[in-house]
Amino acid sequence: MRIVAIIEPCEEGGFHAWVPALPGCHSEGKTEQQALRHIQEAIELYLEADENEFPGPPAKKVEVAV
């Protein structure tokens, strides 16, 4: 499974990572690589969570032509 994650620098130092398709799925790291490892772990935990708490599959990112 491939999920889009956003990693951005924090003003106070380090990096913040979050997943648009998984509300509340955030993590941080001192380096970009550490933030990536942490968000990967956060995604795994999020997807393993009780389905009653997070019903249904995660949202999909699609492109739509208009």
Consecutive 10-residue averages of pLDDT for the chain (66 residues): 92 95 94 96 86 63 73
pLDDT at 2: 85
Question: How far is it, in rounded angstroms, from Cα 51 to Cα 55?
Answer: 5
pLDDT at 36: 95
Q: Which CATH class is domain 1-66?
A: alpha beta
pLDDT at 57: 66
- Two structure tokens written together for 14: 């380090």
pLDDT at 49: 78
Question: How far is it, in rounded angstroms, from Cα 16 to Cα 34?
Answer: 10
